[in-house]
Chains A and B, each alone.
Chain A
Amino acid sequence: MKLQFWGVRGYVPTPGAAYLGYGGNTCCVVIYGAHDELLVLDSGTGFCRFGDELMQREFGEGRGELTLLISHTYWDHLLGLPFPGLVHTPGNKLKIYGPDSTRGSLRMVYDGILSPVYSPVYGLAHMAATHSFEPISTHPLQVGGLKVRAMPLSQHKHSPIWAYRIEEHGRTVVYMTDVRYSDAQIWRKAVHFAEGATVLIHSAPYTRAEEVEDYGHSRVEDAIEVAQEAHVEQLLLYHHAPTRTDAQLDALVAHYRAELVAMGSLLRLEAAREGPIIEV
């Protein structure tokens, strides 16, 4: 299984030289299975550039298939969907999994963002690629050789936020974003869900010391504590704050690595970076 980040930024894209090292596009992670399975986690603006790359492959001829797993429907996880040419190319197939909100199904949310006041697409009916919205549940799901499990972790207002666990050949990637550990039960669920993961991708826009409005996020220290408690091999901090420059992220990672070393932890810590392909 391979892993590639196309968007690592949270809240809003951050173009600019100071952010290029880690990347400034919003949430999108791609998982490649051993048998060419294609899983995409969230469709922030990172999905647009990934879509360009896919158009150079079978998607350009309308023969592509991908599975999209949506954690929740906030802008930074959603708005990249309608732009890439692949969704407007007949023949391509998109299977979209994600939670319904109490204010509307996932399909309704996507349809709404494509309505003419917001988008020249004029609604899902005009997205030419074949697309289906599948209800997400905690029952395991098989995408080729990839085993996917999903779990509702927390709830922000009307929007449930789901985490995903993807396994292949005994290696595991866990994707947890926008979770807030507002009570001990959520914390225990998260630790249980991440147990033994090879890689844990965890949102961590701010540290506990920073006094900012984070709109329902856990902090860097929470991510590290979950990873340690769950015996994770490698933690990738994700959903970087829009103000966080490359230099600040470097310093932040160095600081927490030193803390981990000092406490004798074997947890490997990195900040997620757009571009490189990571062998899991």
Chain B
Amino acid sequence: MRVRIWGTRGSYPVAHRSMLRYGGNTTCVEVRTTKRCIMLDAGTGLRLLGDALAAEPAPPRQLDLLMTHTHWDHIIGFPFFQPIYQPEYRIDIFGMARTQSTLRTTLANALTDPLLPMSLEDLRAELHFHEIDQGSCFNLGSVEVSTARTNHPYRALAYRLETEAASLVFIPDTGPFHTVLFGDERINWQGRPTDSDVELQELAAMREAIIELARDADWMLYDAQFTDAQYAQFPHWGHSTASQAREIAEAAGVRELLLFHHDPHRSDDELDAIVAAQSALARPPLVIRAAFEGMVLDKEEAL
């Protein structure tokens, strides 16, 4: 399994001098095996991935796009992904089943007038939509995919991708599991953590499922958008801190934690400092780094 990070930023893409090393594109990760190209989320990093595919001598014509959810920062790269305009490609798009709108409609509406001039019907690649849910398990070639629910406004998915060689867990957007329980309704934050037993039990169960999903993973990309001060102010936006990410990684026995979904205000130097602080606290053998654009994680399948 070869993983390449194309976008690390959360909320919105940023072009800024102080963020060149970790990068300003929003969430997108490519996972390659010998036969398969799986893409995680369609942030602005996806545009760069599309351009890289076009430059390959024999690019894979079957692509799988796994969506955690459809907030803007996770779909904004889709219309700029060149393979959707090319009939040689088949793209299978997976995302959470919703009652309000199908995955297909959600993407179609985002691409269409008055927001953009495209139309899903005009895209020349063969697109197939698959609605899945927490607890879904399926195979993409030799890659086993499993999912869990994360604690994020309007809910989102976490993914685990597993081959014989390696395992990757992808949780770009989640709050921690002790303050607010997110569902489909908006949280009207009143400055007090939930004290409802029912909600606390549901949060505990969600945390358990996330830890099960991440159990002994080689790599885990995890939401570490907030500083402690930001979390104290905005727990109702559904993001975690680096120490909350570390706590989940330790509980799950993850080998390497990659801090992810960087805040659009976070400079490279600030991220370096966060990594140093969390590394000093990490229980060995856990390794902590921050994901950066262009980062490659590689573990080959045994021949």
Contact = CB atoms under 8 A, between A and B. Distances in A.
A158 B113 CA distance: 6
Interface stretch (B72-80, B210-218, B281-289): B72-80
A274 B17 CA distance: 12
Task: State the majority secondary structure of interface residues on A.
Answer: loop
Given A74-B117, A78-B115, A116 B15 contact: no
Contact of A74 (B44, B71, B77, B115): B115
Nearest to B24: A15
Contacts of A116: 100, 153-154, 184, 186
Interface in B4-43: 9, 11-17, 19-20, 23-25
Nearest to B238: A120
A117 interface: yes
Interface in B92-148: 98, 100-101, 106, 109-110, 113-117
B115 A12 contact: no
B16 A117 contact: no
A73 B114 CA distance: 6
A53 to B, nearest CB: 12
B231 interface: no
A15 B11 contact: no
Interface stretch (A20-28, A247-255, A260-268): A20-28
B265 interface: yes
A16 B24 contact: yes
Contact of A126 (B9, B77, B184, B186): B186
B15 A23 contact: yes
A11 interface: yes
A79 B15 contact: no
B15 A80 contact: no
Interface string A103-125: 11000010011001111101000
B116 A15 contact: no
A20 B11 CA distance: 20
A17 B16 CA distance: 9
A45 B13 contact: yes
Given A116-B154, A242-B80, A48 B115 contact: no
B70 interface: yes
Contact of A117 (B23, B98, B237): B98
A144 B300 CA distance: 65
Nearest to B153: A120
A79 B76 contact: yes
A97 B55 CA distance: 43
A118 B71 contact: yes
Contact of B70 (A9, A78, A118): A118
Given A20-B15, A25-B14, A15 B71 contact: no
Interface residues of A, number: 46
Interface in A2-36: 9, 11-17, 19-20, 23-25
A80 B47 CA distance: 19
A180 to B, nearest CB: 11
Contacts of A222: none
A35 to B, nearest CB: 31
Contacts of B253: none
Contact of B106 (A24, A49, A117): A117
A256 to B, nearest CB: 24
A126 B14 CA distance: 24
Interface string A70-99: 001111001110010000000000000000
15 contacts: A13-B24, A15-B25, A16-B15, A16-B24, A25-B15, A75-B76, A79-B12, A83-B11, A117-B70, A117-B106, A120-B152, A120-B238, A122-B186, A157-B113, A158-B113
Given A11-B80, A52-B265, A120-B154, 14 more contacts: A12-B13, A12-B44, A13-B13, A13-B44, A14-B15, A45-B13, A48-B264, A49-B14, A83-B264, A109-B114, A116-B184, A118-B70, A120-B153, A158-B113
Interface of A: 9, 11-17, 19-20, 23-25, 45, 48-49, 52, 72-75, 78-80, 83, 101, 103-104, 109, 112-113, 116-120, 122, 126, 156-159, 215-216, 242, 274
Q: Sorted from nearest, which 10 A-B pairs have the closest CB atoms?
A: A15-B24, A24-B15, A101-B114, A120-B153, A122-B186, A13-B13, A116-B154, A15-B15, A158-B113, A157-B113
